[in-house]
Amino acid sequence: MANEVKEITSRDVNFAQWYTDVVKKADLVDYSSIKGSMIIRPYGYAIWENMQKILDAEFKKTNHENVQMPMFIPESLLNVEKEHVAGFAPEVAWVTYGGNEKLEERVCVRPTSEVLFCEHFKKIIKSYRDLPLLYNQWCTIVRWEKTTRPFLRSREILWQEGHTMHASEEEAREETLRMLKIYENFQRNVLAIPVIVGKKTDKEKFAGAVESYTLEAMMYDGVALQNGTTHYFGNGFAKAFGIEYLNRENKLVTPYQTSWGVTTRMIGAIIMTHGDDNGLVLPPNIAPYKTIIIPIGQNDEVMAKVDEIHEKLLKADITSKLDLSDKTPGFKFAEAEVKGYPIRIEVGMRDLANDLVTLVRRDTLEKRQVKLENVVEEVVNLLQEIQTNLYDRALKRRDSMIYEAHDYDEFREIATTKNGFIKTNWCGDVACENKIKDDFGMKSRCLIENEEVTGNCVCCGRKGKHRIYFGRQY
RNA sequence: CGAGAAGUGGCUCAAUUUGGUAGAGCACCUGGUUUGGGACCAGGGGGUUGCAGGUUCAAAUCCUGUCUUCUCGACCA
């Protein structure tokens, strides 16, 4: 009995436990001896590598350059921008000793790198000719979280952070929205995750930002996962750090700034958006292997065909794994499902006698027999179908879990009986946000830009200023 | 950080109540037979029981501390 694969808790019985089971059984991570610092195993890391490859290409296309900044920040540097340090101080890790000697000034492990970039920018930006300055770095950061969960909330986080400087406010705002759009397209088209994109309220925005934008995804259980953010900083940081340059009129002026980032949390989002009781389900566009080929019976003809199909797929640029282990077919089928390969190709004599092979799609587990000579073509089409179906399915589910509340009683009724987001009107007062958080544990997700405000604030009854989503979050 | 639960070969657990030679199934290795949904036969390797103290003739078992994991909450991305 291969019990290790059979022990996935049903996601409708205990979603949190199901998530933990999938993460482990699909060989994505292992725990380390440091709380909240996970080992990302090859199969999990391959997903991250694909994310990096695709996003990095988008960053380069839009003229960003990669750099690598230090991992340590001296306390005095972190303290330069007040709102920023207030936001991050409670969760930074401090280094106080070097070897046996106590440090003169303690240094923290970067929780994010704004201040490091600012210090550097001050040195290298002299002229309007130096702008825009478009930097990005792939690195890890540390935030000392109290509760940790693989991918969703860890202490050591793999991410990408873009930091840019611009000559005008308008240009910096454009950059903020440009990167937001890149994230949105990536999540929709590659990860097949529908996201609600919008502006954060003042209460929820990044420490030190003028405006923060977010990509909010809804997980299978109706809980929100913030899947990426972009920030417009105005020139607050630049002023605090004294970054100035000479413009065309030979005047000393302050530039405008942005930052933006996504993390391996997106892997958690894939799991909780597409996964099912059999395990992981990977969208073809991000899967390390788009197909897994499983031979049935070890005779020469089967082995020859399996090799042939594998070669053909690779030639057509379709990553494919060939499972030649000596497990039984049933075991391999089950394992292929746990690991979420988009398509499984079963090759056995029964089909080969009629020049057929069997394709099994992971999203629906539906089987179909196809002509051997058409395998590549069929796989290409099926991958597209799966990619589309996963997005449509997730979108439909999400939309079915968004509710409109017109008054507080209705809000309470929804918040206490249903899982999902609540769409409503809000007066703009942080007191109402706080009350909703205290009463129901729901925070504002983001403001809705394109809808007219139709009623009064759901909480206080005063005139509504914004359309807004509320929801519980990871 | 608060409440609860748990840490025994890679995994799931037994032995803990009542201190007395650490055990099973699966996984792993070798050989063979198998192969269309989680195979079978034979043989074999692997654990000083999370870690550190303490009590005792004797500790997986009792006591103290600590670390890690899980669930629920608070907080934060």
Q: What is the pLDDT of residue A12?
A: 87
Nearest Cα to Cα of residue A145 among A35, A259, A13: A35
Distance from CA(A178) to C1'(B49), angstroms, rounded:
56
Query: Nearest nucleotide to A350 by CA–C1' distance?
Result: B36
∠ CA(A324), CA(A326), CA(A327), 5° rounding? 105
- Render A182-242 in DSSP notation, one character per residue: HHHHIIIIIS----EEEEPPGGGS-TT-SEEEEEEEE-TTS-EEEEEEEEEEETHHHHHHT
Distance CA A431, CA A467 (A): 16
Distance from CA(A33) to C1'(B60), angstroms, rounded:
22
**Domains recognised in chain A with CATH numbers:** 3-274 (3.30.930.10), 291-382 (3.40.50.800), 402-471 (3.30.110.30)
Rounded to the nearest 10°, the torsion over CA A260, A81, A254, A243 is: -100
Distance CA A317, CA A330 (A): 28
- Do A195 and A184 touch, CB atoms closer than 8 A? yes
Distance from CA(A235) to C1'(B12), angstroms, rounded:
57
- Do A238 and A223 touch, CB atoms closer than 8 A? no
* Residue A436: strand pairing partners: none
Distance from CA(A51) to C1'(B7), angstroms, rounded:
35
Residue of least CA–C1' distance to B25: A1
Query: Nearest nucleotide to A263 by CA–C1' distance?
Result: B77
Distance from CA(A163) to C1'(B37), angstroms, rounded:
51
Distance CA A445, CA A69 (A): 31
Residues 6+ positions from A113 with CB-CB distance below 8 Å: A69, A73, A137, A139, A141, A161, A163
Nearest Cα to Cα of residue A231 among A186, A187, A261, A254: A261
- Do A166 and A255 touch, CB atoms closer than 8 A? yes
**Does pTM top 0.90 for this prediction?**
yes
Chain B positions with a protein C-beta closer than 7 Å: 1-2, 10-12, 25-27, 33-39, 67-77
Residues 6+ positions from A442 with CB-CB distance below 8 Å: A415, A422, A436, A470, A471, A472
* Residue A224: strand pairing partners: A218, A473
Distance from CA(A242) to C1'(B69), angstroms, rounded:
47
Q: Cβ of A349: how many Cβ atoms within 10 Å? A: 12
Distance CA A36, CA A456 (A): 43
Distance CA A288, CA A239 (A): 44
For residue A339, report the phi and psi dihedrals to the nearest 5 degrees.
-85, -5
Distance CA A91, CA A138 (A): 21
Query: Nearest nucleotide to A443 by CA–C1' distance?
Result: B76
Distance CA A172, CA A167 (A): 8
Tokens of A263: 């993390």
Residues 6+ positions from A49 with CB-CB distance below 8 Å: A288
Q: What is the pLDDT of residue A298?
A: 79
Query: Nearest nucleotide to A297 by CA–C1' distance?
Result: B35
Q: What is the pLDDT of residue A3?
A: 32
Q: What is the pLDDT of residue A6?
A: 53
Query: Nearest nucleotide to A148 by CA–C1' distance?
Result: B69
Nearest Cα to Cα of residue A268 among A312, A224, A309, A235: A224
Residue spans of chain A under pLDDT 70: 1-7
Residues 6+ positions from A37 with CB-CB distance below 8 Å: A154, A155, A156
Residue of least CA–C1' distance to B2: A146
